[in-house]
Structure 1
């Protein structure tokens, strides 16, 4: 069973980054959750050949998976995955959604994902990533308020984008 640990410092040079995922917020403070056949996740994925900047990976993945444009992403940290063979990093970022396009199929999978908007406080439960998931969701909620100036209280209820 892999071991997951959350870190807020930069990814060490020796640790390969295999995934970049984003906590994407709308201006009213709600968080976008990607929904695929009842499974909740964040938009994101693997770097493609030649991609080295986390922000570029997240922008591409956000557009491909949930057809949204985002502003400048803010680095939150990384989750180290130690599978007992070769540890790797999963980077987490937060960003504001600047434009939502009509849903389209993901060019990689062919699936069209539902986009659910939720209170950031529900992210840890919905993602079901355990303690490190709660730590990541908390860091994202803090960044939404401190970095992006989004409201912390009085958020609307959940809904679809």
Structure 2
């Protein structure tokens, strides 16, 4: 079983980045989650050939998967995945949604994902990533308030975007 550890430092140059995912906030402070059936996840994915900047990967993936545009993302850290073969990094970023487009099929697989807005404190439970997931969600909620100036209390509960 893979071992997951959360780090708020830069990804070491020797550790390959296999995924970039984003905690995306709307201006009222709620968090956008991607819903595929009953599974909640963050928008994001793998770098494509030639892509090196985490920002570019996240922007492309959010537009493809949940059809939203984002402001300048803020780096939160990375999750190291040690699968017993070759460790790799999953980068996590936070950003504010600036434009919402109608849902459309993901060019990668043809699925249309639902978009769910939730209070950030529910992210850890809904993502079900264990302790490292709670640490990531906490870092994202902190960045929403501290970096983006979004409200942190008195948010609406949940709803579709």
Q: Give the shorter-chain TM-score range.
A: over 0.9
Per the alignment, residue 81 of structure 1 pairs with 81
1:26-105 matched pairs, under 5 angstroms: 26-105=26-105
Determine the C-alpha separation between the residues in 2 that align with 1:70 and 1:3. Answer: 31
Give distance in 2, aligned partners of 1:31 and 1:157: 10
Aligned counterpart, 1:7: 7
Tell me the residue number matched to 1:120.
120
CA distance in 1, matches of 2:35, 2:142: 23
What is the aligned-residue RMSD (CA, Å)?
Answer: 0.3
Gaps of 5+ in 2: none
Question: 2: CA distance between counterparts of 1:31 and 1:135?
Answer: 15
Give the superposition deviation at 1:128: 0.0
- Counterpart of 1:110 in structure 2 is 110
Shift of 1:157: 1.5
- How high is the TM-score relative to the length of structure 1? 1.00
Offset, 1:7: 0.0
Cα distance in 2 for residues equivalent to 1:157 and 1:80: 31
Over residues 61-112 of structure 1, what are the superposed CA-to-partner deviations in whole Å (9 max), with x where a residue is unaligned? 0000000000000000000000000000000000000000000000001000
**Hey, what does 1:134 align to over in structure 2?**
134
Instruction: Give the structure 2 partner of residue 155 of structure 1.
Output: 155
Distance in 1 (alpha carbons) for counterparts of 2:156 and 2:143: 19
Counterpart position of 1:18: 18
Residue 134 of structure 1 aligns to a residue in which SS?
helix
Gaps of 5+ in 1: none
Name the SS for the 1:48 alignment partner.
coil
Normalised to the residue count of structure 2, the TM-score between the two structures is 1.00
- List structure 1 runs of 4+ shifted beyond 6 angstroms: none
- The CA distance in 2 between the partners of 1:70 and 1:143, in whole Å, is 15
